Structure formats: C-alpha cells, structure tokens
C-alpha cells in the first residue's frame, strides 16, 4: 500500500536537507519526544505507533517535521492506552485522585462544597 509516508524513490519531493555535523536534535523538545518514545517502549505501550504515524492525513504529514509526527502518534497512543487523558496532555497537568473525588462530590451534593469554599478566606 502506498501512502504519503512511503516516499522512498518518489521524485520531486525536494532535498533531504542533510547537514554536515548536524545535531541529533534541533530543539530541546525533540529530545523530549525521543525520551517519551523510549519510555513508552519500556512500558509496553509502543505497539501500533507506526500505524498512528501512517494515519496522519497527507497534508499534515508533509508539513510536519519528523518529531512532530512522532509526537502526534505518541499522543494518540498515550490517550488510547490510558496513560493520560487528552485534557491532561493539553493542560500539562495530571488529574489526581483529589480532583476526581472533588468532582464526584460536587455532582452528588453541590451545596456542600460551595459552603466550604465561600467566605473571606476563599478569595
């Protein structure tokens, strides 16, 4: 099956952009993506990553850098595997047990929490 990711031997795709003495990573975030890839493999959450990269829509795939493709695919695997939610990834903040319990309590008895969070100390 040929897809946009099967670029080997294609004509007109431009230079590969090889640089003499090229650094391993061009930006710090690229190194972090690579570390994330290694960590995912260590936790056995690696399977299906190639499929995720290959399922990136063609226009996006071509505009993305190598590490942007990896980050996109890893993000999808993290969410699918239950390691984090999309909201946790987007906010950069883990949703802890206390927050989940607070949300449950708010749903079960909205007035109880409001009474505890009002007053001069709550401002």
Q: What is the mean pLDDT of residues 37-54?
A: 85
Statement: the pTM of the whole predicted model exceeds 0.85: no
What would the pLDDT profile of 51-70 be if each residue is shown by its tens digit?
899 999 989 999 999 999 99
Sign of CA dihedral 42, 48, 52, 54: positive
What is the per-residue DSSP string for 20-54?
TT--S-SSHHHHHHHHHHHHHHHTT--TTHHHHHH
pLDDT band at residue 33, thresholds of 50, 70 and 90? very high
Q: Quick one: pLDDT band at residue 108, thresholds 50, 70, 90?
A: confident
What pLDDT sits at residue 47? 77
φ, ψ for residue 107 (rounded to 5)?
-70, -40
The CATH label, of 3.90.660.10, 1.10.472.20, 3.40.50.2000, 3.30.390.30, for the domain at 24-92 is: 1.10.472.20
Angstrom distance (rounded) from CA 81 to CA 106: 28
Q: Which pLDDT value is given to residue 16?
A: 64
Q: Are 68 and 36 in contact (CB under 8 A)?
A: no
Residue ranges of domains in the chain: 24-92, 96-123
- Regarding predicted confidence, which is higher, 11 or 18? 18
């Amino acid at each position: 099956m040929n897809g946009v990711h099967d670029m080997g031997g294609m004509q007109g795709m431009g230079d590969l952009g090889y640089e003499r003495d090229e650094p391993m990573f061009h930006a710090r975030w690229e190194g972090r993506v690579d570390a994330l890839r290694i960590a995912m493999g260590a936790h056995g959450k690696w399977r299906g990553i190639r499929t995720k990269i290959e399922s990136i829509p063609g226009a996006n795939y071509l505009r993305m850098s190598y590490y942007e493709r990896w980050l996109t695919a890893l993000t999808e695997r993290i969410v699918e595997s239950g390691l984090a939610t999309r909201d946790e990834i987007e906010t950069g903040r883990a949703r802890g047990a206390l927050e989940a319990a607070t949300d449950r309590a708010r749903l079960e008895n909205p007035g109880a929490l409001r009474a505890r969070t009002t007053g001069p100390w709550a401002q």
